[in-house]
Amino acid sequence: MNQTLLEAEAKSQIPDTPAPPERPPAPAHPRFAKPQRIAFVQACWHREVVQEARIAFLAEIEARHVPRSAVDLFEVPGSFEIPLHAQILAKTRRYTAIVAAGLVVDGGIYRHEFVADTVIKALMDVQLRTEVPVFSAVLTPQQFHESAVHVEFFRKHFAIKGVEVAEACAETLLSLERLRGQVAAGIT
């Protein structure tokens, strides 16, 4: 048999592999009328877990037309320090939004529920006082053990929260942009 015939026989014996599924088209996110600048404040406590929120946030916010260069990153020791930094950043009027990320767990001198409640309330106060929206990916799990399984679970969870906080940030900024435009035009 000649070589071409052998190759044809060999190919006929290999089952056809299905083509990989087509990726759905990326969603078309609306563009902003004005440039946005975002401050991302991250607690360093459990950095290997919390950084997953930052990584996912940056990817998602970029997909929503806010370039990576328009996001300034700030690190603080723990979640308890986030509100003061958020307030000072908001008062600069440089940022159209501030995003906070941290993991509050059992231990230390404070009860974790107290710290989490205090941080969330303070972040809300910052945004109401300054009219700069503040978003939180500060999480307080009921149980956190520094085992490999728990750390991996919460890394994945923080990645999901990073996407969610980017979605909320972008949608809120778009909504505020429209609302402020309507107010300026005397429509609202």
Q: Where are the domains of the chain?
A: 34-184
Sorted by sequence, the CB contacts under 8 Å of residue 129 that are 6+ apart come out as 87, 90
- Please tell me the predicted confidence (pLDDT) of residue 109: 47
Mean pLDDT, contiguous 10-residue spans, the chain (188 residues) = 55 59 74 93 93 97 96 96 97 97 72 78 96 93 70 89 97 94 86
Record the tokens describing residue 158, joined without a space: 């923080």
Residue among 49, 35, 36, 37 at smallest CA distance from 137: 49
- Please tell me the predicted confidence (pLDDT) of residue 132: 97
Rounded Cα distance between 105 and 79, Å, is 10
pLDDT digit string, tens, across residues 78-90: 999 999 999 999 9
34-184 placed in CATH 3.40.50.970: no
Rounded Cα distance between 73 and 160, Å, is 19
User: If you average pLDDT over every residue of the chain, what do you get?
Assistant: 86
- Please tell me the predicted confidence (pLDDT) of residue 115: 77
Which among 68, 94, 111, 178 is annotated as catalytic? 111
- Please tell me the predicted confidence (pLDDT) of residue 2: 57
The alpha carbon torsion through 126, 130, 132, 136 (nearest 10 deg) reads 0
Sorted by sequence, the CB contacts under 8 Å of residue 160 that are 6+ apart come out as 56
Question: Cβ of 41: how many Cβ atoms within 10 Å?
Answer: 26
Report how far apart the first and last C-alpha atoms of the chain are (Å, whole number).
Answer: 83
- Please tell me the predicted confidence (pLDDT) of residue 181: 87
Give this prediction's pTM. Answer: 0.80
- Please tell me the predicted confidence (pLDDT) of residue 179: 92
Task: Answer yes or no: 64 catalytic.
Answer: no
Record the tokens describing residue 12, joined without a space: 């006929």
Record the tokens describing residue 66, joined without a space: 């806010």
3-state secondary structure of 42: strand
